[in-house]
Amino acid sequence: MATRNILKDGDKGLIKKSRTVTDFNNRLHILLDDMRETLIEANGLGLAAPQVGVLRRVALVVDTGIGTGETEGVNVELNEEEQLKLYNEQIIELVNPEIVRQNGEQSGSEGCLSLPGVYGIVTRPETVLFKAQDRYGDSFELEVSDMAARAVCHEIDHLNGIIFTSVVERFLSEEELTEMASQKEEEQ
């Protein structure tokens, strides 16, 4: 596995539509493994292949509801190694993803690994049912909510050449970001 460079805003590859994956081979597996390592290093919630310069319909999304104390009814403190293992287990590989159904609405702050330091308010569905294929070409469906639904929509937008700044309702100022971070710390 290798960490790949994440393209930044202004790179023309970010606004091109990705092509469907038809070969579920070792090249795809290497791409997925490299993207996983890149996402973990960047500590992001999602990464699409166009962000690493590959115009294929491939994305990774972190489903923070998988394996957390909240879903298991147990709230435990994890050391750094356990946190990394849990984070890695929460990453879902999406090949040729499509949204089947979406319900509700949520508005919240959103950022992007290709636009470091830029955040804005974006409205997305509260719940998303999507279908995709895994690295071997096997189809699956999954319903996600909250932050994972936001991430799925964000990454599928990338696959369609859409950057979140084109759907942002309002950009957030440094003061607002600082205030949001302090509120989040108080809640924990």
84: helix, strand or coil: helix
DSSP secondary structure code for residue 162 in this structure: -
- State the burial class of residue 164 (Cβ atoms within 10 Å of its Cβ: 0-12, 13-18, 19+): buried
Nearest CA to 6 out of 132, 144, 80, 111 is that of 111
> Which residues have C-beta within 8 Å of that of residue 115, sequence separation ≥ 6?
8, 9, 163, 164, 165
**Residue at 51: amino acid letter:** Q
DSSP secondary structure code for residue 83 in this structure: H
Active site residues: 155
In what side-by-side order are the strands of the sheet with 46-48? 46-48, 58-62, 91-103, 127-133, 139-145
